[in-house]
Amino acid sequence: MSRVILHIDMDAFFAAVEQRDDPSLAGKPVIIGALPGSRGVVSTASYEARKYGVHSAMPIAQAYKRCPQGVYLSPDGRKYFQISKQIKAILQDITPRVQMASVDEAYLDITGCEKLHGTPRQTALLVKEQIRKQLQLGCSVGMGPNRLIAKIASDIDKPDGLTIVMPEDLADFLAPLEVGRIPGIGKQTNKVLAKLGIKLIGQLASIPKEILVERFGEKGGESLYRKSHGISSDFVGEGEGRKSISKERTFGVDETSEEKLRHVLLKLSGDIGRQLRKENRSGRCLTLKIRLEGFETHTCSKTIDKPTDADDVIFNKAWDLYRQSAYTGRPVRLIGVGVSDFDSEARVQLDLFEQPKKQKTRSVYQAMDAIRDKFGSNSIKPADAYDGNVNKEKVEGGRKKEEN
């Protein structure tokens, strides 16, 4: 029997939360992300803002040119995370098989829930109803026989949509869609496919796998073939959680001071270490991301022997990657660090014979985490960690306000 998978995608989540919490923002173009005058990007745009061509990942300067009358807000990550936990609780009341894919996305396996909630369609409508009733937020839902189809379907009819794809209709559903609808196909792959005259998923599905592998490599070709035919995992559970944790910082002016870059990497490494420990994860692959002038972006990685969740290990490896790179001395627009290749057991287990020094270091990190959880992320940090702006900022119609 085919499984029934739902993908829940909150509509303009960050912006919708702010509009819900501040009635004066209702009906206004709200843009969450960097503020005008800075060098960051849009995180989320309300549907009112999208009418002006503003979308996520757009440079904030470009967004402001298109919508100068918009309300620009810096994100409130802590609030969004708490609401995400509420969303998960609502979904778990419907089925225990829930996996949060991000702060505003989730997969549900509702196979066999008919006796509890009625038909799969009725269950999907129940999800939308409960989120609207309990949180006053809207979401779009896609339903399909696997995760890929459910995710593509949830994006078809936004906002507040419901798209159902039955197994027998899978090929007909995918064929007329643009290849860009497939998750994981980026701009470069899209350009290559366009040069080959491939614009629709149906066209991609007609190409033999051998040709795709020859053109895009074994891994890339296999992935394109499977996705174009709607082949994907139908597993929903924590075992397929996120594959990496990363943090980055965009500078208002290109940064040339190595000392400043060092301080920023130290702070980012601490944030990642804390998140790893919170999720009981440890990783072996450390990645440095750096963006130079003209959006020239590079990444470099290093794999270590033993998985780690330690701030100092993450920082030292990231700093080594920077110092050994060809980009030292060049002005930096953005710098970031990430940890991936998580331990298969996904839980940090203390070695019974671990050296006392390591045990002491771990105890210090755990104490710091407890203080930050209680008093905020900036309540305690390494002595030379870079101080970021902790005020919530708001720009409306070009006027900037600060809210402590």
Chain-centre distance for alpha carbon 83:
16
Asked if 181 and 152 count as a contact pair (C-beta separation under 8 A), the reply is: yes
d(CA 213, CA 225): 9
Instruction: Give the CA angle between residues 35, 180, 333 to the nearest 5°.
Output: 30
Asked if 155 and 148 count as a contact pair (C-beta separation under 8 A), the reply is: no
Catalytic residue among 18, 48, 105, 210: 105
Place of tokens 């990642």: 272
Determine whether 105 is an active site residue. Answer: yes
Instruction: Give the CA angle between residues 35, 56, 200 to the nearest 5°.
Output: 160
Residues 6+ apart with CB under 8 A from 73: 18, 30, 31, 32, 392, 393, 394, 395
d(CA 259, CA 261): 5
Asked if 42 and 67 count as a contact pair (C-beta separation under 8 A), the reply is: no
Torsion of CA 84, 87, 89, 91, to 10 degrees: -140
Beta-sheet strand order (sheet of 139-144) = 98-102, 105-109, 5-10, 139-144, 162-164
Handedness of CA 372, 373, 374, 377 (dihedral sign): positive
Chain-centre distance for alpha carbon 387:
24
List the catalytic residues: 105
